[in-house]
């Protein structure tokens, strides 16, 4: 990993064209070949970058750039599909490199998957008498998060989101349309479940006869812990 602090000007031509006037910035060159140009804000997002795979070549500035802007060196970073990131360096204030080695990597504890698993274990949270038939029930247009059956024996398709938005309702609608065409399943009703559900999603769901349920993640986790203590 190479860290360069320099006054520089940057020009990107690719999926868009962008220009950064001369200013002092951090240029980060990683072992994977990626190059990113950071200002002292915008959190972790660089002003400009090139994702790997890409190649970097260093060249002399043309006379004009050298005289007008004091450019001493030009980096050309080029990706496979022709995108280019050109960094014109005028004054290098810092330049170091470090061997980091490969990272053992990140261990994540997801939320949506966990939410789905918890609801699969406690389907009655979504309504009295509901019982699990299957998780990730496959339809031709994708998997339904949970397939349940109610006390009357009718099927219930459940879409689980951490944050329920309009797209999720559209998705569940498509599943329901399809499943209700299957005589072996019909009638199938829908439940849209989420930790949060946006107002528009609530309205659209209700308008389409789909129930929506707010899920209390912490309470569900609590039930889970209670179970663990019992056994």
Residues that bind DNA (CB under 7 A): 12, 14-16, 18, 42-43, 45-46, 48-51, 79, 83, 85, 106, 108, 110-113, 138, 141-142, 145, 161-163, 165-166, 168, 171, 198-201
Residue whose pair of structure tokens reads 């140009």 in the numeric block: 37
By beta-carbon proximity to DNA, the closer residue of 1 and 151 is 1
The site partner of 218 among a second copy, DNA, none (C-beta below 5 to 8 Å per kind) is: none
Q: How far is the CB of 155 from DNA (least distance, A)?
A: 19
| End-to-end CA gap in the chain | 50
Q: Is 85 helix (H, G, I), strand (E, B) or coil?
A: strand
Compute the Cα dihedral for 115, 118, 124, 125 and give only its sign.
negative
Q: How far is the CB of 131 from DNA (least distance, A)?
A: 22
Residue whose pair of structure tokens reads 């520089």 in the numeric block: 8
Q: CA-to-CA distance for 66 and 23, rounded, in angstroms?
A: 15
By beta-carbon proximity to DNA, the closer residue of 12 and 212 is 12
By beta-carbon proximity to a second copy, the closer residue of 8 and 191 is 8
By beta-carbon proximity to a second copy, the closer residue of 57 and 107 is 107
**118 contacts 221 by C-beta, under 8 angstroms:** yes
């Amino acid at each position: 990993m190479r860290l360069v602090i320099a006054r520089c000007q940057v020009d990107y031509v690719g999926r868009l064209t962008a220009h950064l006037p001369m200013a002092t910035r951090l240029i980060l060159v990683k072992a994977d070949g990626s190059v990113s140009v950071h200002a002292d804000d915008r959190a972790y997002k660089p002003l400009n970058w090139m994702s790997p795979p890409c190649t970097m070549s260093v060249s002399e500035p043309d006379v004009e750039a050298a005289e007008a802007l004091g450019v001493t060196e030009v980096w050309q970073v080029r990706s496979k599909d022709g995108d280019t990131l050109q960094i014109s360096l005028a004054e290098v204030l810092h330049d170091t490199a470090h061997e980091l080695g490969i990272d053992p990597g990140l261990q994540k504890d997801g939320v949506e998957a966990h939410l789905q698993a918890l609801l699969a274990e406690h389907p009655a949270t979504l309504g009295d008498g509901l019982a699990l038939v299957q998780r990730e029930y496959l339809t031709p247009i994708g998997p339904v998060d949970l397939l349940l059956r109610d006390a009357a024996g009718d099927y219930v398709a459940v879409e689980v989101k951490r944050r329920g938005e309009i797209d999720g309702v559209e998705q569940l609608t498509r599943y329901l349309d399809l499943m209700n065409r299957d005589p072996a399943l019909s009638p199938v009703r829908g439940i849209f479940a989420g930790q949060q559900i946006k107002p528009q999603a609530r309205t659209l769901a209700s308008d389409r006869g789909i129930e929506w349920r707010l899920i209390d993640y912490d309470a569900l986790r609590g039930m889970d812990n209670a179970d663990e203590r019992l056994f």
